[in-house]
Amino acid sequence: WIKKAKEENEIIHYIESLTLIEIACQAGYTSTAEFEMMEDLGMSIAAYSFFGSIMTVGAAIGAILSGKMADFVGRKRTMWLSQIFCIMGWLGIAFAKNVWGVNIGRVSIGFAVGLIAYVVPVYIAEITPKNIRGRFVVTLQLMNCSGLLAVFFLGNFFSWRTVSLLAIIPCLMQVVGLVFVPESPRWLASIGKEIEFEDALRRLRGVDAGFSQEAIEIKDATENFQRGEAGFQGLFQKKYAYPVMIGVGLMLLQQLGGNSVFAAYLSTVFAKANVSTTIGPTAIAFLQMPAAVLGVLLMDAFGRRALLMVSSIASCLCLSIMGLSFYLQEHQYAKEFTPLMVFLGVLGFSYAFAIGMSGIPWVIMSEIFPINIKASAGSLVTLVNWSCSWLVTFAFNFMLEWNSAGTFFFFASMSAMAFLFTWIMVPETKGRSLEEIQATLITYVY
């Protein structure tokens, strides 16, 4: 029974990993489609920047609804619904006749991403044993790298319309796969479905799971927290201040570090530095795969805090190298080294970001909020993430034209801020049950 439960956990994890492949496809799509789509549809830089960033508007709307929807209909149904919107969006882009068509499709995809960006890490955290929880959630980052590699590679051989159709494949696979996975036991406990709760926990832990210490802790914590059910206004109570500050702070700094622009406009960065826009993005996506694997291996060995701090300070150094290379290029110094410095800077940043700042904030988000504020807090932090992503992706092309060096020095300063924020504010959650983490953070202010 235990062996069967472990195998089922792994199967469920792989099914949920398809979500991150899909998110990566939409993130990298704007980079691979940029020049061809602009030519086919007669788009200006401003129009394409709008197309690239409007996805985050849809994601912000999805983020607002994601928490309540996940609590109302469950984690599984929310993920299933998101894939329907994703399929509709990719079809809209593939068959669009004008700029409005691709923008509407992009908003639909963004709405889907906003729904699942928080729900999937929460679902994985809620079903996974505490000793491997971080590794399972961060493995999603490996799938994210795989999705970027796939879309960059396919973009070299197929038109932007064909790539849109191919991006539907992971959506369809997850729509089918979700039929075979159990609902979150913690969600079932929160709505009083005792029999379904024990059945789901048995599938995930083994035949005696319904009577285990974990089952008792889940029931007790759910009952205690549900006595104080909180909406958005409840997040501003003193007892929730610490976890909310951690969540909002990490999401702000993750996006202000510039990761979204590397996925969305990597071709633009390489073109500015005279690096091949065909080979460069694909090479980066391929070479960052080992970093994602390393992050998976290190997560539950060294903990969240250490990897976050190493990731953020290394990102700061790599972004500073990129800023310096563009500064030298603008002042006609050592221009012949600019392509190499930028390529190595992007590669180093990809490695640094992949082992920590990419996936770990989502791990922590899935761990720190108790069941009574998980919906509202999840919506808030996801909304902050996508709103900030919109700001950065929309402004990036204009920032790059205005001051290339200053753009990357700004991102570097935000990575330095992430290091300080983690050092001062973020607790270690490795090896602790969700109930233990949440109880500690709630009582921290007293």
Q: For residue range 132-178, list pLDDT tens digits in order.
A: 655 565 566 667 777 777 787 888 888 889 989 998 988 888 888 88
pLDDT for the residue 107: 93
Q: Rounded mean pLDDT of 72-89? A: 90
The pLDDT confidence band at residue 429, using thresholds 50, 70 and 90, is confident
Nearest to 188 by CA among 206, 203, 171: 203
pTM of the model: 0.72
Q: How confident is the model at residue 5 (pLDDT cuts 50, 70, 90)?
A: very low
> Which two tokens mark 221?
């914590």
Answer yes or no: are the C-beta atoms of 300 and 131 closer than 8 Å. yes
**For 349, how many CA atoms within 13 A lie in the half-sphere containing its CB?**
27
> Would the pLDDT of 1 be above 50?
no
pLDDT above 90: residue 238: no
Instruction: Compute and round to an integer the Cα radius of gyration of the chain.
Output: 21
The whole-angstrom separation of Cα 400 and Cα 386 is 21
> What tens digit of pLDDT does each residue of 376-406 get?
787 788 888 888 888 888 788 788 888 888 9
The mean pLDDT value of the chain amounts to 79
Q: Compute the CA torsion angle 229, 118, 235, 233 (nearest 10 deg).
A: -80
Better-predicted residue by pLDDT, 226 or 155: 155
Rounded mean pLDDT, 117-129? 77
Write out pLDDT tens, residues 48-72: 878 887 888 888 888 888 878 888 8
pLDDT band at 343 (very low <50, low <70, confident <90, very high): confident
How many other C-beta atoms are found inside a 10 Å radius of the C-beta of residue 297?
12
- Position 86 scores a pLDDT of 92
Query: What pLDDT shows up at residue 70?
Result: 84
CATH code for residues 2-181+228-442: 1.20.1250.20
| Helix ranges restricted to H, 74-128 | 75-94, 99-127
Delimit the domains of the chain by residue range.
2-181+228-442
What whole-number distance in Å separates Cα of residue 59 and Cα of residue 280? Answer: 28
pLDDT of residue 266: 76
Q: 232: how many CB neighbours lie within 10 A of its CB?
A: 15
How many whole angstroms separate alpha carbon 11 and alpha carbon 6? 9
Q: Which two tokens stand for residue 106?
A: 């992009």
Say if residue 329's pLDDT is above 90.
no
User: Is the pLDDT confidence value at 287 over 60?
Assistant: yes
